[in-house]
Amino acid sequence: MRKDLWGRRGAATRQAKQIKGLVGRLSIAVVALVICTLWLFSTIGLNRSSDEAKDINVDKLWGPATSGGWRPSSAPRSYWPPPPKESNGYLRVRCNGGLNQQRSAICNAVLAARIMNATLVLPELDTNSFWHDESGFPGIYDVEHFIRSLRYDVKIVESLPEISGHGKKKKMKAHQMNPPRDAPLSWYTTTALEKMREHGAIYLTPFAHRLAEEIDEPEFQRLRCRVNYHALRFKPHIMKLSSEIVNKLRAEGHFMSIHLRFEMDMLAFAGCLDIFTPEEQKILVKYRKENFKEKELVYRERRLIGKCPLTPEEVGLILRSLGFDNRTRIYIAAGELFGGDRFMKPFRTLFPHLENHNTKKARRECPRTRRFSSRLHGMPLIKTFMPTYDGPSNFANNLMGHRLYYGFRTIIQPNRKALAPVFMDREEGKGANFEERVRNVMARTKFGEPHKRVRPESFYTNSWPECFCQAAPKDPKDKCPPDNVLEVLESQMESEGSGGLEEANVSDRTGTVVTKGT
């Protein structure tokens, strides 16, 4: 009896061990199957990416990107009352930084004046911090066009008025304030508005990035687009000089513009020092200590997360991998490149047809380039644009925004983080399939198509979908309004008792406004 019991127990134990072994083997098999499945999918993905890379058509990159039926429309879509006859006071701002940073600040100033029901004094442009260009707003932009284009949105005056006191007249004094960076709308409707009502005028300085970019109200975002893409127009002689340079280049065939952000300030900011000589590194370290917060930066780590600007040679290798040949004509939009000609020489070997505003040809077309360098940074209105470092680069961000708004013009925007291991492998002698790997990364580029804005992408880089519409949309809210915006806004101003104004030439502001009660 006991022997049978032990026999049954032994059999049960052996069976349990067999089952346990079977489960173990099945687990291993399942894990192997999962790994193989993942490998298979990744292989399919790589093959698809490779196929996409082969489908990149260089000829198509000279034309606009696919729009998906979208077109720009920054006109109001809902009731948009005219500025009140009596404002809450005057708003002065001092826009600091380079021309493109100042441009964004002007858009923010108009929006701030709108939400505060304030009269905007023509924005002041900082002339000392970087460009040392004393042109100011009236020397760069068409003031009359600016004021006339925005008359349905805000009241704008060229200077603060004079006030009478003790039998004398003197210029009104504005109360100076320093707005928080990326301040919410509520700061302007509470803190700033309170001081405006108390003093009659406020002076916000400095005024760069002093209003949050992401705002839930689409009408406010569309106002920014009306300022940026329609109201802010360069003076006629600047437009003429720009057109002459661009037309001269276009007359000889296709050309692209590359914003080669390989300059001392950006390299010092990024902390990408190891590729330079010890003497050059000392210069960059010194510049960084004097201009940026102290922070320990490791070159390889910065490179792998895409924080280093592309070198000129890397730019050339990307273009060659995409299929551009050495006949391609390139306009370099950049300041003085750091590190001398040794960095440009490999690029020039790949693409010998290079132009910039310092070349002999450009200097003949624009003799005032050196004195008014800030103005020229609005010039590359070209067919194909490639930024090599998109943030924090106000020029590249603003230009990409303009190209998106004006017909989805092609943008070749390298993903530096995805490209970093490809370039680092090449530097370490592991350059097999280099061009194919570069094409696989670039195949995932939007090339200027409409796309969802994802942080840290700026609204001034991508104003889709707020400032766009579709003639035949899937969603009714995206439908383009009729083209009677001038008539409706004019009638609203008259009905509000503001009085009619002479018709402005703003035919590019298409759309309509829903009047009260509709």
| 223 and 315 fall within a common domain | no
| 247 and 222 fall within a common domain | no
Please state which of the ranges 240-244, 272-276, 310-314, 428-432 shows the lowest mean pLDDT. 240-244
- Mean of the per-residue pLDDT values for the chain? 80
Examine the pLDDT at 481 and tell me if it is beyond 90.
no
Cα 206 to Cα 195: distance, rounded to the nearest angstrom: 17
Given a contact cutoff of 8 angstroms between Cβ atoms, the answer to whether 416 and 438 are in contact is no
| 204 and 251 fall within a common domain | no
**Edge-to-edge strands, sheet with 329-333:** 354-356, 329-333, 255-259, 384-387
Indicate whether 158 belongs to any domain.
Answer: yes
Hey, what are 444's tokens? 């995932």
| 109 and 201 fall within a common domain | yes
Indicate whether 103 belongs to any domain.
Answer: yes
Indicate whether 419 belongs to any domain.
Answer: yes
Hey, what are 88's tokens? 């809450």
Indicate whether 180 belongs to any domain.
Answer: yes
| 355 and 213 fall within a common domain | no
Cα 390 to Cα 395: distance, rounded to the nearest angstrom: 9
What's the structural domain count of the chain?
Answer: 2
The DSSP bridge pattern shows strands 255-259 and 329-333 to be: parallel
| 106 and 195 fall within a common domain | yes
Q: Over pLDDT 70: what percentage of the chain?
A: 77
CB atoms within 10 A of CB 349: 11
Confidence of residue 247 (pLDDT cuts 50, 70, 90): confident
Examine the pLDDT at 132 and tell me if it is beyond 70.
no
What CATH code is carried by the domain that includes residue 424? Answer: 3.40.50
| 193 and 251 fall within a common domain | no
Cα 380 to Cα 400: distance, rounded to the nearest angstrom: 11
The sign of the dihedral angle between the CA atoms of 360, 366, 370, 374 is negative
Going by C-alpha positions, the residue among 508, 477, 461, 475 that lies closest to residue 213 is 461
| 251 and 366 fall within a common domain | yes
Confidence of residue 134 (pLDDT cuts 50, 70, 90): low
Cα 516 to Cα 478: distance, rounded to the nearest angstrom: 21
State the amino acid at position 401 in one-letter form: G
Given a contact cutoff of 8 angstroms between Cβ atoms, the answer to whether 115 and 145 are in contact is no
Confidence of residue 449 (pLDDT cuts 50, 70, 90): very high
| 204 and 242 fall within a common domain | no
Task: State residue 15's pLDDT score.
Answer: 53
Hey, what are 25's tokens? 């083997």
For 12-32, how does the pLDDT look when each residue is reduced to its tens digit (9 = 90+)? 455 555 544 544 444 444 333
Which residue segment(s) compose the domain that 127 sits in?
A: 90-230
For 266-316, how does the pLDDT look when each residue is reduced to its tens digit (9 = 90+)? 899 998 899 999 999 999 999 999 988 888 888 889 988 888 999 999 999
Indicate whether 407 belongs to any domain.
Answer: yes
| 221 and 240 fall within a common domain | no
| 155 and 221 fall within a common domain | yes
Task: State residue 382's pLDDT score.
Answer: 62
Examine the pLDDT at 357 and tell me if it is beyond 90.
no
Task: State residue 24's pLDDT score.
Answer: 47
Given a contact cutoff of 8 angstroms between Cβ atoms, the answer to whether 75 and 511 are in contact is yes
The sign of the dihedral angle between the CA atoms of 414, 416, 422, 423 is positive
Indicate whether 276 belongs to any domain.
Answer: no
Indicate whether 49 belongs to any domain.
Answer: no
Indicate whether 14 belongs to any domain.
Answer: no
Residue finishing a domain among 453, 470, 487: 470
Examine the pLDDT at 366 and tell me if it is beyond 50.
no
String of b and e for 164-178 (b: at least 16 CB within 10 Å)?
Answer: eeeeeeeebebbebe
| 373 and 443 fall within a common domain | yes
Cα 208 to Cα 107: distance, rounded to the nearest angstrom: 10
